[in-house]
Structure 1
């Protein structure tokens, strides 16, 4: 008998055989499904709310993992690539065959019911997920915007265990954060309605979730509810709380069915954050005939993904299939979140879009949102409008948000960078005066609880011009740590505000530009750094500073890949998820001044090399991204290309463990895409740093202007020995700068790069006039 994997892949290939090229054939949702990538591997539409996949009891942050753990259910809401606690996974359903058709012989508890899957059976393609369980049940699923459709195929004939298909619904989520929940099972139709109150996985507060499950394909035999490991058919309704002394009561509803001749049972699952009635309406509207709609819905999902990938085209002659899979899969994962919850926000009434799962902007502002600005500017505009609507109704721009809740702030107010980036790239549809107001609110007003909105320590920021170590902050409250990283991030946040203020003709631009230099106040020029007692030979690092201006101390290697990880809760430090060594390279707006303080260009390059080659660099976390390209600012852009070709494919590849860290809603994927594209953003500025693409040519047709921008490599070498740019032309004219602006995409320009094998012999991009801009030497000083 052919497996799900074999016939589904054959069907997928056959469906598109007439096309010369289908990018979906190179999308592999299983990249990063092991080793902590935490990707969502299941069925979803672009930015879709419904996300159907098998949930496992191993690495289940995104629901499913290819780690060989057991399947505990199938649920229809997930986040992708997040760290920390598992997110969503509300109300999983699980099909079984119970021994002797006795209800109490069924397996209810999560620890008991987990069933292994056959590794070779896993099939994941855009809009589809399939898996075969070792109990003989095959599962397939696809999704619409607010509903999931499951197709379960039970073994037929005498299997010695039981013949009546059984499906349970569990009143839980992946994190088991349920506070209370209700379930109701219709005795005639078998429809299951459930709702519950849950906790966000990385934030404060709570949210309510609703689900509506209908079945088709087999007549209903019986229904009921279950609590812990016992069930009954007389009672059809249940309410459950967290449990006595917080003991977690496992409970839910179930339906048994008469066996059908083909063993196929369909489950339609509608989801909502508003009401159970709306969950049912969503399902009925989007999936009218569950037993007939599966192929139609899967095809519609594929079409939606194909449309989103359509602006991008590559000439990939000689490029390995795995590298092409990395590229297209990275674009795909970039459009998994934020999720479009428009019409599903019960918190306020609005005609504006509502997106959720900004998880988190601290991770996503660096590459994910800049990529969306290029390939899906309409969606990016809607996301920023959604952020402004959150500000309008809750008083602050979020730095992180999920499940209708405020997420923990990791660094600065980095939504400010998203707006600065959109402003300099002429993103349309934004009320810029209102955006400026929201950004000023971040910069000037401290919230009472700055652990999940705004900025803390603003009194010190304005008077001392840095965030002090052990700050005395009575205006608001948050985790009193990260004084170094917050100082650097607030500096860049204020630069973003200065950029928008200048563009709008606001008098405040000069003030915020001045505040963007505050990072310099934590640079200690005589600070040394040792590793295992050996002096690294470098002097001058950021250090914490007390309120009275005296220096504190943090080992520069603390929080690096050579030391303990630093988070908000475990091992809080003066840098967040990153070391002083890493943060010395994070001055995105004034790398020229940073290079000067660090001893000049040659010393800076030596530091960068040591950082990346000593084990200090954590390529699995987003603050490292720009350090890969910081060589541009020292006049050695070829060294950035060399570094990229080290990390791709050594740390980023097309395997199931092919991501070095959490994908973080597509952050790792977008880093890969930009790196392979040959243009890497310095977000918040109209700057893309030029390196050599991994393809002979890459073209992007702007979805709004219709203009096509092309990067072409002359003398392209698919063995990647000749990767150093020797010279370049832009629209046929010599181009010596190592960077380019967003006009390249808006106006459809052509950048042609001639490459060779010698980095030192090339003069391209190395002169002072060709370096990317820095605020201390740019025209912004005239404000």
Structure 2
């Protein structure tokens, strides 16, 4: 055998490692842990689901139940069939929960029907959660398992032997409650078939973060046990007759609790199967969904679970990693973050009663203010076909309801948190060449956001457009008689509207629209709320040492005041309903860094690269940065724009795995439909998007190598670390090559994914010159950036 030079040998070893099978195997799926973020405010959905599935069965608890289940030690109140994942505010959906139990002495009125009375703890170490499957055991010995089809939940309840006082065998009961997790039901009806035990019904409920109401329908069938009795219950009493019931909310804030039940003769194996079809169209549609998707409930559980696993394997398959010795916990955090990006939005095509257009319909955009920053760009590389269908759904909603949604759930309009951020989602799809989208319709919808103010801009469009066009900012205490909404957030709306208009200009210019320059001009409006002599003090009076911040401005052009640290992690929480202010869910300190399209001008305005880096360091190290909320995401990587990409890598490692990890409280805050998961996935892959732009900021992956195969071009992009160190001492890029040629830019475009390029990063322990010169920085809208010499500590 000929002698190999050491470097050649090392290269061969690396090539051999890369040639190892890296397909999405069961081992990759094994690393997905749906319980990550199931307590400490992560609010994740931990149950069974298909990708983008409507049916989402899980145990509901009476503690942190926004996503249904939590590992916070609270009690199980039932098992319901539809949920959202990672939402804040009120619990979302959770309609028509089933609750299995034994009635003392086989007397039906001895059963516990109301939600509080029937609440029961689960055995802590019995909880099992993996893609397509969820199970736990209640402390009374009843075991519950569940899996899902797209619109059908399938349960197996195993009842242990239980005897009455006279020694006879107890009969299992499964009840159904005409409620939801929030107890928002306005009215509902139910019918029970005495022969088959089929329970059908519907209810009218309120959305958890929006306006209006919606109707949901269910169809529940049972198998595996002989039926002994059935009926309805109201409050804490039940009866075999009648078999139908209509219930309203109740009188004088008294919530009337009611539902149905079926009593069974316990089978030898103790297993009673329940199949629940759900629909937003009709009860008949719910039954049809169940019968079509799960025709044989007794024999379909294992097959359904396998089908769900296969669906998740297929969705995960575009991404492969070579771990390079990193821990299983790091792998679990990574794969679980990716998994959660595809729980929502939910594909409700065929389940939209509001209109029938033949276009896709997705729901649970909850909310785009959270998701546009990382989740939707992530789906663009992982599942571009689904992302294209989501954009088409947004456009179809505009076509039929007049406005692009900024937030939408359960067929209802959700509250707008900032700007019209569907504009950014559309621009992101445009610059990354997603196919199948009507771009003329898209531009029309975006321009509508910018030019026409709706009567109710709290849940669609933008408010304050007269002032936006006349004064070039959103005023503090604006006089807005055209439309109505919460008259706050003048700072955050100004900076968001500016970026929304930039997004419109990008699409308009690409389509050859003459008016695109209008939106280029308006995208600069953020400058008009910058007060160059504004200082910032901490609560103890200490001067932060930085001057120049956004401030509210009145209609007459004079300045108002909001403390720059207000609404930060060091001060009080600010939302639409709690302490509304001129910034939304974030401080002026945080919004000061939100000029994604013109970071060059912002950096110059804040004193140049060194001053900007110093300010950004202070923000992250003082406690002002709120890593639990989405506006902070891009700030982790904005060092790139100041010619210090190494500091972006350092900052990402300061948060991962300290605040993002594989524990049950492994998210720093609400997952927001996968927003937190996508931030983690991007960070660990070594590329971070500036959404709405063809820009990915480069940092070293947290693995030896990552491969991403584009599902449409079938080309595989590779990011490979040379000198990778799983203890993360070597986290700074010393040099890079792209397809074997030197590459010095600290960012890369989307063709990296579509063309299947190979990016090799040579790492070291110290910051280098790589990616620091003016020519190597990401693009900005203006060219006003004068790149001063970059000084390194």
Range of TM-score over shorter length: over 0.9
- Pick the aligned partner of 2:239 from 229, 232, 245: 232
Rate the CA distance shift 1:181–1:731 in 2: closer, same or farther, 3 A.
same
- Map of 2:74 onto structure 1: 69
Task: Give TM-score scaled by structure 2 length.
Answer: 0.95
**Residues 1:745 and 2:753 are matched in the alignment:** yes
Within the candidate set 258, 272, 295, 2:279 is matched to 272
Match for residue 88 of structure 1? Answer: 93
Correspondence for 1:140: 145
| 1:601 CA displacement | 0.7
1:509: how far off?
Answer: 1.3
CA distance in 2, matches of 1:474, 1:233: 57
Matched, 1:550 2:558: yes
Aligned length: 761
CA distance in 1, matches of 2:149, 2:299: 15
Shift of 1:510: 1.1
Contact 1:52 1:74 in 2 (8 A): yes
Contact 1:63 / 1:78 at 8 angstroms: preserved in 2?
Answer: yes
Out of 450, 456, 460, the position equivalent to 2:457 is 450
Does 2:775 align with 1:775? no
Q: 1:651 matched to which residue of 2? A: 659
Counterpart mapping for 1:41-56 below 5 A: 41-56=46-61
Instruction: Give SS of 2:717's match.
Output: strand
C-alpha distance in structure 1 between counterparts of 2:162 and 2:436, whole Å: 60
Which residues of 2 match residues 464-503 of structure 1 at below 5 A? 464-503=471-510
2:671 counterpart residue number: 663
Contact 1:593 1:776 (C-alpha < 8 Å) held by counterparts: yes
Structure-2 separation of matches of 1:282 and 1:91: 16
Report the alpha carbon displacement of residue 23 of structure 1 after superposing the two structures with TM: 1.2
Q: Does 1:511 align with 2:530?
A: no
Partners of 1:52 and 1:141 within 8 A in 2: yes
Report the CA distance shift for 1:295/1:459 in structure 2 as closer, same or farther (over 3 A): same
Q: Does 1:627 align with 2:635?
A: yes
Deviations 1:567-621 (A, max 9, x none): 0011000000000000000000001111111111111111111111111110000
* CA deviation vs aligned residue, 1:170-195 (integer Å, no higher than 9, x gap): 00000000000001111111111110
Q: Secondary structure, in 3 states, of the residue corresponding to 2:442?
A: helix
1:20 offset after TM fit, Å? Answer: 6.4
| SS of alignment partner, residue 244 of structure 1 | coil
Cα deviation per residue 1:683-706 (whole Å; 9 max; x = unaligned)?
Answer: 000000000100110001100000
Could you say which residue in structure 2 is the equivalent of 1:299? Answer: 306
**2:228 equivalent in structure 1:** 221
Superposition deviation, residue 246 in structure 1: 2.7
1:561 aligns with 2:569: yes
Q: Cα distance, 1:202 vs. partner? A: 0.2
Q: Distance in 2 between matches of 1:556 and 1:294?
A: 55
Note closer, same or farther for the CA distance 1:22–1:132 as it changes in structure 2 (3 Å cut): same
Structure 1: runs of 5 or more not aligned: 1-17
1:363 paired with 2:390, answer no
Taking a change above 3 Å as real, the CA distance of residues 778 and 183 of structure 1, as seen in their structure-2 partners, is farther
Contact 2:49 2:55 in 1 (8 A): yes
Shift of 1:19: 9.2
Separation (CA, whole Å) in 2 of partners of 1:702 and 1:159 = 61
- Post-superposition CA distance 1:327-348 (Å, at most 9, x none): 1111100000000000000001
Summarize the alignment of residues 323-342 of structure 1 with structure 2, pairs less than 5 Å apart: 323-342=330-349
Alpha-carbon deviations, 1:104-129, whole Å to 9, x = none?
10001111100100111000010000
From 387, 391, 403, the counterpart of 1:384: 391
Q: CA deviation at 1:439?
A: 0.2
CA contact (8 A) 2:601 2:784 kept: no
Secondary structure of 1:499's counterpart equals helix
2:4 counterpart residue number: none
Aligned partners of 1:293, 1:772: CA distance in 2, in Å? 52
> CA–CA distance in 1 between the matches of 2:591 and 2:456?
26
Corresponding residue of 1:97: 102
Q: Any conservation in 1 of the 2:322–2:705 contact (CA below 8 Å)? A: yes
- Which stretch of structure 1 is more off in the superposition, 511-520 or 237-246? 237-246
- CA-to-partner distance for each residue in 1:749-768, whole Å, 9 max, x for gaps? 00000000011xx1100000
Following the alignment from structure 2 to structure 1, what is the Cα–Cα distance between the partners of residues 298 and 517? 64
Distance in 2, matches of 1:637 and 1:234, equals: 71
Check whether the contact 1:156–1:262 (CA below 8 A) recurs between aligned residues: no
Q: Match for residue 415 of structure 1?
A: 422
Residue of structure 2 in register with 1:604 after alignment:
612
Q: 1:124 corresponds to which residue?
A: 129
Please list, as runs of the form range in 1=range in 2, the aligned pairs for 1:654-693 lying within 5 A after superposition. Answer: 654-693=662-701
The Cα shift of 1:378 comes to 0.2
User: 1:7 — aligned with what?
Assistant: none
Q: Please state if 1:586 is matched with 2:591.
A: no
Q: CA RMSD in A?
A: 1.3
Residues 197 and 206 of structure 1 are in contact (CA less than 8 Å); yes or no, is this contact kept in structure 2? Answer: yes
* Cα distance in structure 1, aligned partners of 2:124 and 2:504: 50
Task: From 303, 313, 316, give the equivalent of 2:323.
Answer: 316
Match of 1:570 in 2: 578
Q: Does the Cα contact within 8 Å between 2:104 and 2:164 map onto a contact in 1?
A: no
Q: How far apart are the structure 2 equivalents of 1:249 and 1:564?
A: 37
Q: Helix, strand or coil for the counterpart of 1:124?
A: strand
CA distances 1:133-152 after superposition (whole Å, capped 9, x unpaired): 00110000000000000000
Distance 1:660 1:185 in 2: 45
Residues in 1 aligned to 2:515 and 2:736: alpha-carbon distance in whole angstroms: 39
How much has 1:778 moved relative to structure 2? Answer: 8.8
Regions of 4+ moved over 6 Å? none
SS at match of 2:603: helix
The answer as to whether partners of 1:156 and 1:261 remain within 8 angstroms in 2 is no
CA drift at 1:158? 3.4
State the alpha-carbon separation in 1 of the partners of residues 294 and 708 from structure 2.
34
